Amino acid sequence: MGLPWTNKEVVHLLLRAGFGATQEEIAACVSHGPEETVRRLIAGESVLAQTTALIPFDQLTADGKKALDPLQLADQQMYWLYRMVYSEAPLVEKMTLFWHGHFATANYKVNDVTLMVQQNTLLRKYAMGKFQELLLAISQDPAMMIWLDVNRNKKGKPNENYAREVMELFTLGIGHYTENDVKEAARAFTGWTYDKKENKVAFNPKQHDNDAKQLLGEKGNLDSADAVDIIVHQKTLSTFLATKLLKYFATDIPSESWVQQIAAHIVNKATIGEVLHELFLSAEFYEEKYRMALIKTPADYVAGILKALQLSVSKGHAQALRKMGQELYSPPDVAGWRGGTSWLNTNTLLARYQFAESIAKQMNLKLLTAPAFTPEQASHPDEWVKLWSQRLAIANLSDKTLQGLSSYADDTIVHTKQKNTGLRGLLQLVLISPEAQMK
């Protein structure tokens, strides 16, 4: 890779390819080196060489009281957040979230939590695999079929919703297809139906338009598999996906050369996992200008804090995501979450501050006073700030932030005999610092 491999590089990678990191994970990755660390992330193997299985949904308790209800959206949201925090395959969860925003489907129209979870399982299954297989599978996914009215797409009366979005939002982008392509694609996708009573997806030949079609310059008696094959082999697909992946993992404004480099990998590599392998081992990914350059999504922010502090996940934590603008299983529309600066407005920033306050209040003081949270030079206020930001996987604090937090630590921790309030206060202030919102 040609770059140093220190805590800084590891934290940068784990913030992007997962949901934060514990100190044990950071140390393990430094020891592994870049190639082995990335290999494990891509393969879904624990960086700690652990085989700790996630607690099954029906065995996980909420707030220590009762089992979760699989038919309740809030409980399913909580369980997915639990997966983000405690999965030994964080990149798989990160890519599942990426595809959820990419193939944005929301329960407020689907109105069936079971189908939303079924789609989530599908996205996780194909998360690191072949894009064409994922695209074909999602076109026959019940939640997607309801979301984009596939059941209404019949011979003689084609519904263009899915055909339009599959090219505009899922594969090619605006300007790389014509209205006639939308019409022809809709005809190709006819015949697929979902029977809600039997919970069954089936192909009905009588409802499929079997006449000749012309899609994106290709002619023939096209069906859904043909349409998907034609779409994924368009030259613009690789550029479209490369741009989205770079914006998700690297920078809001990727250079054209970097986009084309990743696009070439999409063309030449068999799976998305192989593309990410090349991205995470590239020198450009670790350039200083790209570090701490993306705003954390609400999922990044909440899951990262819970992971770093090893806290149990509660329903309130999942509800906090909604208040911050990212309700799981309910993206705002078919285009998904907008990301970037849209994550931080007056309301959502307040929600982050309130979440930080709640975390500080619920923290066990035994942990905050434990050796792991107590600097060797406890009489130096800046050492408290540096240690705590390090344990929360915050890569760098600006001089201004360090000075402000150190002043607070000096007054409420170093020079007081009653420092419990100061400890909680410092934790809250670190969590609401500008740097804590970035990755």
As a whole number, the mean pLDDT across the chain is 96
Cα separation, 290 vs 296, in Å, equals 13
Which residues constitute the domain of residue 397? 298-437
| Overall average pLDDT of the 89-117 stretch | 98
- Provide φ and ψ at 255, rounded to 5°: -70, 155
Location of structure tokens 């599908």: 122
Record the pTM: 0.97
Location of structure tokens 């007081």: 416
The answer to the question of residue 213 being in a domain is: no
The answer to the question of residue 324 being in a domain is: yes
- Provide φ and ψ at 231, rounded to 5°: -65, -45
The answer to the question of residue 68 being in a domain is: no
Indicate whether 363 pLDDT > 70. Answer: yes
pLDDT score of 422? 97
Number of compact structural domains in the chain: 1
Lowest mean pLDDT among 64-73, 159-168, 406-415: 64-73
Neighbour count for residue 422 (Cβ, 10 Å):
20
Residues 6+ apart with CB under 8 A from 119: 105, 138, 141, 142, 143, 144
The answer to the question of residue 323 being in a domain is: yes
Q: At what angle do helices 7-17 and 34-43 cross, to 10 degrees?
A: 20
Neighbour count for residue 178 (Cβ, 10 Å):
12
The answer to the question of residue 85 being in a domain is: no
| pLDDT tier, 23 (very low <50, low <70, confident <90, very high otherwise) | very high
| Overall average pLDDT of the 299-308 stretch | 98
The answer to the question of residue 388 being in a domain is: yes
Give a three-class secondary structure readout of the chain. CCCCCCHHHHHHHHHHHCCCCCHHHHHHHHHHCHHHHHHHHHHCCCCCCCCCCCCCHHHCEECCCEECCCCCHHHHHHHHHHHHHHCCCHHHHHHHHHHHHHCCCCHHHHCCHHHHHHHHHHHHHHCCCCHHHHHHHHHCCHHHHHHCCHHHCECCECCCHHHHHHHHCCCCCCCCCCHHHHHHHHHHCCCEEEECCCCEEEECHHHCCCCCEEECCEEECCCHHHHHHHHHCCHHHHHHHHHHHHHHHCCCCCCHHHHHHHHHHHHHCCCHHHHHHHHHCCCHHHCHHHCCCCECCHHHHHHHHHHHHCCCCCHHHHHHHHHCCCCCCCCCCCCCCCCHHHHCCHHHHHHHHHHHHHHHHHCCHHHHCCHHHCCCCCCCHHHHHHHHHHHCCCCCCCHHHHHHHHHHHHHHHHCCCCCHHHHHHHHHHHHCCHHHHEC
The answer to the question of residue 22 being in a domain is: no
The answer to the question of residue 53 being in a domain is: no
pLDDT in tens, 228-253: 999 999 999 999 999 999 999 999 99
Cα separation, 405 vs 397, in Å, equals 10
| Overall average pLDDT of the 142-164 stretch | 97
What end-to-end distance do the CA atoms of the chain give, in Å? 21
pLDDT score of 1? 57
pLDDT score of 51? 82
